[in-house]
């Protein structure tokens, strides 16, 4: 589904990603861990199409297409979704407000008919239940005055509505209380099937108890320096990143 | 030979003399005297050119000189009432006055007894005498030459009185229609609104320029007095004003516990200058100034506002927003004065602008002058592009760039409507804003 090869990227001349290789197949869950500033969000942003990063080398294919050639909205319509680490506030625009356009753009792209207002509302209601999000949140300006947890839950709600093929969750667990964490994990799990895939960026093993990964990768200094199964996350939780750092430094 | 500012003054002096002759002793000496003071002020100060600080960015006098070959000026006698029905906003019911090139051509009349609407030109000498304590007392003809001109030629207009305790069931709607299809015209109207104690009403002024081929110059001035606890919602709708040259002077005086909410929306016009002056002469007053301008092409929209806090414990809040495209220009000058006696004043001001092209210009100047020490005042002005993060967020959800920017501009502009409570008007303006944004983006 997704194949990242030797991806190098920089911002304002500063190199941040230094050759990333990552393959995600349908049906898989990947976890990306790594210390602060190692480049996790940068990778996620580049996948979603943020233009402020310059890709200096490498390639990304998504569903057999050159992802880097696609505009952000084309990526979304192809089925890529990013739950932002820091979702932006948009005064005057409510979630329901833009989500209807989003859903119908994606449907049009898939050759499906646009949803009418009633059907859309039904869809919204159903997904609201799934992620236990409140009506009032959806009719407020997007993220404007939302608590940290509310912002994250709103991201997952959008994911549930848009039903992406590849969902990238950038620290969606940060700032969530334990109940909210379960709700989010539950939301993700109920959307999983053999045709889609999830990449979770996280600092904590905790989330991975609920969303069990098939692969765990450690990103360090803009490179994936170690990959393994879910036990790697447990090991990181127990030992921290120092041993990874040492190994990585030995390797260079 | 091109017309000069002096020619312009001479032209209006002639107009003034012939106008005086037509009055033929029908006027109260006090009003006559007011006119005389005003023409003298105009002659002394001259029409404002861009070297005048207050008109630095707004060459409306130059535009007037250029487009008016005065010999061709269309005679302003209206012998037959033109059909104006199509220019009224459908569904907007109320007590309606229609001015066509400065002449009152329609007055829906039939007002309840707590409301009186009199044509200014029909006042008896005695009525004039009585109103002379209001007329010309707020409009500052020393400071603004267009206000002076309007005062010198003061004739057509309205006197609207809201009796004590009135809660008006329908708005008063005033249409200012300018038709320059027969040649350039100078048109003016003058309004006096007296809201007595506890009166509550909505007044809607609608400015329209009906032909774009020649230029119509509209000069409108109003004086509005709010007595104790009076409440007024005042709208200025300048959305069918393509090609217009327009100066509006609105002066409001507030007494204790009164509230005024002014809403000014401008979407078209060659050069439009709005002077909104509020003098807070009472305690516990509220003054709201809500503005929106959406301009493109070569339009210039200039909003000058002043709120003068003269008494303690009052609150003023101003939010002006603008979207400027192409080579259009926006001007915002917001003055807040807090006089020594006006302790415990809360005064807030914000001006937010989005430029859609790199040739669009916004000149914004907040001017706070505070002589009291125990006050809360703040101001802020921003001018920039749409937030790239917000655009990216929406695109990452599948909206294309046009949809994303459209949605963001719409959200930005429609904050104006949050304070527009009259449903017909809210819907009307929402449609206008949506259409306008559609034009701006394409
Ligand atoms: N726009 C930018 N300008 C300058 N530096 C940037 C920019 N974006 C990212 N960086 C830098 O790139 C590095 C990687 O940042 P990134 O946000 O990808 O880290 P991260 O792994 O997501 O960290 P965290 O765990 O704290 O979220 C950091 O050093 C960051 O300061
Ligand atoms: Mg991050």
Domain finish residue from B235, B264, B282: B282
| Spatial separation of the C-alpha atoms in residues B3 and A233, rounded to whole Å | 83
Same domain, B268 and B402: no
Domain count, chain B: 2
Same domain, B272 and B412: no
B62: containing domain: 5-282
Q: Quote the minimal CA–CA distance from A159 to chain B in Å.
A: 9
| Spatial separation of the C-alpha atoms in residues B58 and B339, rounded to whole Å | 29
Residue A51 near ligand 1, beta carbon < 6 Å: no
Question: How many A from CA of A11 to the centre of ligand 1?
Answer: 9
Residue at token pair 């334990």: A178
Nearest to A132 by CA among A149, A109, A112, A110: A149
Does the beta carbon of A72 lie under 8 angstroms from any beta carbon of chain B?
Answer: yes
Q: Which residue's CA is the closest to the ligand 1 atom numbered 13?
A: A37
Structure tokens given for A89? 């506030």
Structure tokens given for B53? 């600080």
Contacts 24+ apart (CB under 8 A), A239-245: A241/A34, A241/A35, A244/A218, A244/A220, A245/A220
| Spatial separation of the C-alpha atoms in residues A198 and B43, rounded to whole Å | 77
Q: Is a pLDDT exceeding 90 seen at residue B184?
A: no
What percentage of chain A carries pLDDT values higher than 90? 80
Q: Which residues of A touch B387 (CB under 8 A)?
A: 88
Q: Residue B357: helix, strand or coil by DSSP?
A: coil
Same domain, B83 and B230: yes
Q: Is a pLDDT exceeding 70 seen at residue B244?
A: yes
Query: Quick one: angle between helices B401-413 and A95-109, nearest 10?
Result: 160
Contacts of A10 (CB under 8 A, 6+ apart): A16, A17, A53, A54, A56
Q: Residue B143: helix, strand or coil by DSSP?
A: coil
| Spatial separation of the C-alpha atoms in residues B387 and B394, rounded to whole Å | 11
Confirm whether B315 is domain-assigned: no
Residue in chain B nearest A45 by alpha carbon: B396
What ligand 1 atom has the least distance to the C-alpha of A222?
Answer: 14
Confirm whether B366 is domain-assigned: no
Same domain, B97 and B240: yes
Return residues 388-407 of B near A (CB < 8 Å).
388-390, 392-401, 403-404, 407
ipTM: 0.96
Domain finish residue from B254, B282, B310: B282
When pLDDT is averaged across residues A215-225 and rounded to a whole number, the result is 94
Confirm whether B240 is domain-assigned: yes
Confirm whether B264 is domain-assigned: yes
Confirm whether B348 is domain-assigned: no
Same domain, B276 and B401: no
pLDDT for the residue B72: 46
Confirm whether B336 is domain-assigned: no
Q: Which residues of A touch B410 (CB under 8 A)?
A: 92
Q: Is a pLDDT exceeding 50 seen at residue B305?
A: yes
pLDDT for the residue B442: 63
pLDDT for the residue B76: 53
Residue A136 near ligand 1, beta carbon < 6 Å: no
pLDDT tens-place string over residues A135-155 = 899 989 999 999 998 999 999
Return residues 333-372 of B near A (CB < 8 Å).
none
Residue A138 near ligand 1, beta carbon < 6 Å: no
Residue in chain B nearest A85 by alpha carbon: B393
Residue A11 near ligand 1, beta carbon < 6 Å: yes
CA B266: distance to chain centroid? 10
8 A C-beta contact, residue A78 and residue A105: no
Structure tokens given for B162? 């809201």
- Window from A16-30, A60-74, A76-90, B58-72 with minimum mean pLDDT: B58-72
Grade residue B226 by pLDDT with cuts at 50, 70 and 90: very high
Residue A202 near ligand 1, beta carbon < 6 Å: no
Q: Which residues of B touch A52 (CB under 8 A)?
A: 388
Domain finish residue from B282, B308, B323: B282
Residue A72 near ligand 1, beta carbon < 6 Å: no
Same domain, B51 and B174: yes
Q: Which residues of A touch B394 (CB under 8 A)?
A: 90, 93, 98, 102
When pLDDT is averaged across residues A228-248 and rounded to a whole number, the result is 87
- Pick left, alpha or beta for residue A31 (phi over 0 → left; psi -120 to 50 → alpha; otherwise beta): beta
What ligand 1 atom has the least distance to the C-alpha of A38?
Answer: 21
Question: What does chain A come to in residues?
Answer: 252
Does the beta carbon of A87 lie under 8 angstroms from any beta carbon of chain B?
Answer: yes
pLDDT for the residue A244: 83
Does the beta carbon of A161 lie under 8 angstroms from any beta carbon of chain B?
Answer: no
Confirm whether B235 is domain-assigned: yes
Confirm whether B145 is domain-assigned: yes
Nearest to B373 by CA among B344, B349, B400, B351: B344
When pLDDT is averaged across residues B397-422 and rounded to a whole number, the result is 95
Q: Is a pLDDT exceeding 90 seen at residue B192?
A: yes
| Dihedral angle of Cα A134, A138, A143, A148, to the nearest 10 degrees | 20
Strand pairing category for B376-384 and B346-355: parallel
pLDDT for the residue B372: 96
What ligand 1 atom has the least distance to the C-alpha of A52?
Answer: 1
Name the average pLDDT for chain B.
93
Same domain, B102 and B237: yes
Q: Is B441 exposed, middle or buried (0-12, 13-18, 19+ CB in 10 A)?
A: middle
pTM over 0.80: yes
Phi/psi at B179 (5° precision): -120, 105
Under an 8 A CB cutoff, do A88 and B401 touch? no
Same domain, B395 and B268: no
pLDDT for the residue A190: 87
């Amino acid at each position: 589904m997704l194949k990242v090869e030797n991806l190098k990227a920089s911002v304002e001349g500063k190199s941040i990603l230094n050759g990333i290789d990552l393959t995600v197949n349908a049906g898989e869950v990947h976890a990306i861990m790594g210390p602060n500033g190692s480049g996790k969000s940068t990778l996620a942003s580049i996948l979603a199409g943020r233009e402020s990063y310059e890709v200096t080398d490498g390639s990304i294919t998504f569903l057999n297409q050159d992802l880097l050639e696609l505009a952000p909205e084309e990526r979304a319509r192809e089925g890529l979704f990013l739950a932002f680490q820091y979702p932006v506030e948009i005064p005057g625009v409510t979630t329901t407000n833009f989500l209807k356009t989003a859903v119908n753009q994606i449907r049009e792209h898939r050759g499906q008919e646009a949803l009418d207002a009633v059907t859309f509302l039904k869809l919204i209601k159903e997904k609201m239940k799934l992620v236990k999000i409140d009506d009032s949140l959806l009719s407020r300006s997007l993220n404007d005055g939302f608590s940290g947890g509310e912002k994250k839950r709103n991201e997952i709600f959008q994911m549930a509505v848009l039903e992406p093929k590849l969902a990238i969750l950038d620290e969606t667990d940060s700032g969530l209380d334990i109940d909210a964490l379960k709700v989010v994990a539950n939301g993700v799990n109920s959307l999983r099937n053999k045709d889609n895939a999830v990449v979770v960026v996280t600092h904590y093993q905790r989330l991975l108890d609920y969303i069990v990964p098939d692969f765990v990768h450690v990103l360090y200094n803009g490179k994936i320096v170690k990959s393994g199964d879910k036990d790697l996350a447990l090991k990181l939780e127990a030992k921290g990143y120092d041993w990874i750092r040492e190994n990585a430094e030995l390797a260079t | 030979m091109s017309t000069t500012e002096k020619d312009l003054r001479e032209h209006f002096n002639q107009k003034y003399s012939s106008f005086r002759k037509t009055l033929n002793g029908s006027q109260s000496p006090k009003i006559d005297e007011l006119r005389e003071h005003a023409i003298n002020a105009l002659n002394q100060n001259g029409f404002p050119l861009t070297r005048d600080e207050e008109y630095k960015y707004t060459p409306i006098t130059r535009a007037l000189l250029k487009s008016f070959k005065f010999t061709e000026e269309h005679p302003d006698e209206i012998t037959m009432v033109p059909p104006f029905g199509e220019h009224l906003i459908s569904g907007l019911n109320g007590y309606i006055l229609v001015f066509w090139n400065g002449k009152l051509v329609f007055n829906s009349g039939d007002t309840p007894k707590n409301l009186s609407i009199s044509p200014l030109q029909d006042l008896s000498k005695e009525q004039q005498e009585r109103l002379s304590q209001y007329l010309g007392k707020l409009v500052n003809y020393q400071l603004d030459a267009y206000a002076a001109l309007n005062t010198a030629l003061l004739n057509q207009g309205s006197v609207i009185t809201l009796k004590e305790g009135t809660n008006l069931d329908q708005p008063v709607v005033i249409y200012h229609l300018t038709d320059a299809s027969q040649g350039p015209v100078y048109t003016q109207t003058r309004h006096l609104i007296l809201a007595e104690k506890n009166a509550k009403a909505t007044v809607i002024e609608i400015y329209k320029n009906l032909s774009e081929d020649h230029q119509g110059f509209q000069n409108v001035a109003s004086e509005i007095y709010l007595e104790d606890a009076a409440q007024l919602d005042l709208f200025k709708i300048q959305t069918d004003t393509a090609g217009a040259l327009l100066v509006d002077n609105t002066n409001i005086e507030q007494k204790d516990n009164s509230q005024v909410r002014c809403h000014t929306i401008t979407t078209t016009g060659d050069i439009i200058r709005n002077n909104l002056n509020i003098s807070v002469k009472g305690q516990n007053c509220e003054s709201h100034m809500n503005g929106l301008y959406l301009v493109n092409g070569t339009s210039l929209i200039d909003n000058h506002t002043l709120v003068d806090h003269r008494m303690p414990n009052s609150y003023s809040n101003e939010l002006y927003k603008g979207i400027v495209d192409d080579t259009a220009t926006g001007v915002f000058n917001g003055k807040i004065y807090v006089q020594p006696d006006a302790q415990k004043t809360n005064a807030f001001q914000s001006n937010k602008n989005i430029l859609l092209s790199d040739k669009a210009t916004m000149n914004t100047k907040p001017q706070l002058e505070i002589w009291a020490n125990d006050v809360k005042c703040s101001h802020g002005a921003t001018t920039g592009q749409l937030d790239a993060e917000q655009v990216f967020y929406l695109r990452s959800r599948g909206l294309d760039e046009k949809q994303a920017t459209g949605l963001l501009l719409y959200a930005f502009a429609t904050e104006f409507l949050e304070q527009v409570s009259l449903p017909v008007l809210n819907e009307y303006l929402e449609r206008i804003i949506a259409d306008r944004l559609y034009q701006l983006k394409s």
